Amino acid sequence: MDLAIFWFALIAVLWTGYLVLEGFDFGVGMLLSILPRGRDPEHRDKERRVLINTIGPVWDGNEVWLITAGGATFAAFPEWYATLFSGFYVPLLLILVALIVRGVAFEYRGKISDESWRRRCDVAIQVGSWVPAVLWGVAFANLVRGVELDAGHQYVGGLWALLSPFALLGGLVTTVLFLLHGAIFVALKTSGDIRERAVRLAHVLSWVAVVVAGGWAVWAQVAYSAPWTWAAVVVAAGALAGVVVTTRRSAEGRAFGLSAVVLIAAVVLIFGSMYPDVMPGLDGGESLTIGEAASTPYTLGVMTVVAVILTPLVVAYQAWTYWVFRRRLSVRDIPAPAGLTWKKIKDAAF
């Protein structure tokens, strides 16, 4: 098989890893104010901490899938990397800022025991989860739809061209799918009250996803895709129907597996629509093809060896991490806040 095509598929796999794993991270972040209930602020904070700690040990490792997808694109398709990131400048900038504030907020939230500090961190976590959840969808929808490139493969469409109805609907699709994925993950990882609420929410969201994601997938398939990706649309539809059923029965394990299948099918649809380009041209204009964007056979060969050895290892030890932290969490597991107070921090003196 042509190595460039293999790498196109491998990058799709890296994005799949990212969207499946960070998908529920984003979902959990977005649900931070939605799921916790009750009048008692202390209890509400504990419920928020339950949510955050369901992804506590793993969110950082999940995010590396994005870094690796970026690095792999640079190594295997430098033209794609250069055109994509200089072309989608503003969305990427917003995503980066969101990921920065979100990461810091996770780590620093518990370091200071102060109500307003925690509130600010919660805002940062939510903004840092909503913004990428929407923008990744917008970006991928644009890759499906095609973008305006010049003969030198530079993106010349400008910022507003990225905000077509199709792209905005794509943003809505990822947001809904990540919310759903996150709600199911919370249901799977918690026990008690919060678990029941998460299941109920997931069931409602699964119906929303049927409408929104179903509509977008059919639009993408009819307008921009090859016949064979109907298979991905059908699989996604079947899996989503399964999510509707399993969330009604509180079978979280199966629901989680099925919502992961939905995301995998979405990536197959997206990359299948792009093939054989990495950036299709808008309305049949200039395209950047896999062959034009690819590195030399030597570089692709070297990278193949590296990827084939390391990727299974990564999957293995990340799976082990999930096994180590497999226990469900509830408010009883959350220790008292261990951070310092602002007063102490202000009084600090060397």
Partner 1 sequence: MARWQFAVTTVYHFIFVPLTIGLAPLVAIMQTAWVRTGNERWLRLTKFFGKLFLINFAMGVVTGIVQEFQFGMNWSEYSRFVGDVFGAPLAIEALAAFFVESTFLGLWIFGWDRLNKKVHLACIWAVAVAVNLSAFFILAANSWMQHPVGARFNPETGRAEMESLWAILANNTLWAAFPHAVAAAFLTAGTFVAGIAAWWMVRLVRSGDETKVALARDVYRPAVVLGTVTMLVAGVGVGLSGDFQGKLMFEQQPGKMASAEALCEGTEGASFSILTIGDLSNSCEGVRHILEVPGLASYLGTGSFSGEESYLPGVYDVQAEYTERYGETNAADDPVSYTPNLALTYWSFRLMIGFAAGSAALALLALWFTRGGRVTGNPWFARVGIWAIPTPFLASSFGWIFTETGRQPWVVAPNPTGIDQVRLLTERGVSTVVSPGMVLASMIVFTVLYGVLAVVWVRLMHRYAVEGAPDTVRDESPEAQADDDADRPLSFAY
Report the site for partner 1 in 31-50 (rule: CB under 8 A). 49
**Residue reference for tokens 């990540």:** 178
Token code pair at residue 62: 């999940």
Asked if residue 324 lies in contact with residue 56, where contact means CB atoms within 8 angstroms, the answer is no
Which lies closer to partner 1 via its Cβ, residue 59 or residue 216? 59
Interaction with partner 1 in 322-341: which residues (CB under 8 A)?
324-325, 327, 329, 332-335, 340
Using CB under 8 A as the binding rule, whether residue 92 contacts partner 1 is answered as yes
Angle, CA 289 vertex, CA 285 and CA 295 arms, to 5°: 145
Q: Which stretch binds partner 1 (CB under 8 A): 86-94, 167-175, 196-204, 265-273?
A: 86-94
Q: Which stretch binds partner 1 (CB under 8 A): 23-31, 34-42, 269-277, 293-301?
A: 293-301
Interacting span for partner 1 (CB under 8 A) from 95-103, 207-215, 246-254, 278-286: 95-103
| Contact call for residue 295 and partner 1 (CB under 8 A) | yes
Binding status of residue 136 toward partner 1 by CB under 8 A = no
Least Å from the CB of residue 42 to partner 1 = 15
- Phi and psi torsions of 175, nearest 5°: -60, -45
CB of 132 to partner 1, least distance (A): 11
**120 or 248: CB nearest partner 1:** 120
Q: Which of 33, 44, 78, 193 binds partner 1 (CB under 8 A)?
A: 78
Q: Token digits for 271?
A: 């990359």
Q: Which of 110, 137, 170, 280 binds partner 1 (CB under 8 A)?
A: 110
Q: Is residue 24 part of the contact set for partner 1 (CB under 8 A)?
A: no
93 contacts partner 1 (rule: CB under 8 A): yes
What token pair was written down for 290? Answer: 């896999």
State yes or no: residue 138 binds partner 1 (CB under 8 A): no
For residues 40 and 326, the answer to whether their CB atoms sit within 8 Å is no
CB of residue 41 to partner 1, shortest distance in Å: 18
Query: How many other β-carbons are positioned within 10 Å of the β-carbon of residue 349?
Result: 4
Please check whether residue 72 is in contact with residue 307, taking contact to mean a CB–CB distance below 8 angstroms.
Answer: yes
89 binds partner 1 (CB under 8 A): yes
Which residue's entry shows tokens 């799949």?
16
Task: Tell me: does residue 214 bind partner 1 (CB under 8 A).
Answer: no
Rounded to the nearest 10°, the torsion over CA 135, 137, 138, 144 is 150
Residue from 199, 201, 272, 288 nearest 230 by CA:
272
Q: At what angle do helices 3-30 and 59-76 cross, to 10 degrees?
A: 150
- Candidates 129-137, 181-189, 259-267, 310-318: pick the segment binding partner 1 (CB under 8 A): 310-318
CA distance 58 to 100: 16
Distance (Å, whole) CA 22 – CA 227:
30
Per CB under 8 A, does 163 bind partner 1?
Answer: no
